[in-house]
Structure 1
């Protein structure tokens, strides 16, 4: 059975990283700045945050990234916003909810896959134990048969 790493990322840490990166993109800041910020908050290196984002999370947030970039461009084109604050937050909230649902689905599938792997390993172990018990039982039967034959001969 495989244990969990002590430094494994939690769902909450993933969400914090994703929300921070998306906010920094929206605000026109760099992802590196976001990695540093989250790294400080989670006592991780910015490189670890960057690796987690690029290797695991980014693909689940593509739509939200594009939306954050387009919102940043819209805001930088004019000092006066095109929309009211409430209107610009709605697409961001929708994209964030969509991204979080995708992330939740990813983790549920991951959890199910991990549980299935553990159950398969346990099943294999139980099969091995059953086979050993069957062999011992056959050996006991063979010994009992010898004793019965000896008893008949005497």
Structure 2
């Protein structure tokens, strides 16, 4: 029997990875930045952390990811509002700039969702075509099997 790998991921390492990635998403940072942070803490490479996240851990946190992305918008609003409040002598130009940035972030999020929807639609079409090909292949195999059975029975 094979011995366990020395670099195998432990449950607490997976949890650290998930917690860090979710926190980075909430704060508007990239997942790559989260992988770099976890890599530093666990003495692993960012690529190993990214692979572990995408191959194993991510599927257990789909709802948390969705919530983190929603919280990211709220977090940005809070940070931007705090920045505005900190500067008590805010000008009308600053307020307009702030609102334009918020609109741009909102549009970017909407574009990202549209892009993902388009990608999923394309993947759905591709998978349906693949299923059709498999069904056609199985149908041909069934026909061939029946033909062989009939030939064998008539020759016996």
Q: TM-score, normalised by structure 2?
A: 0.49
Bigger Rg, which one:
1
**TM-score with structure 1 setting the length:** 0.50
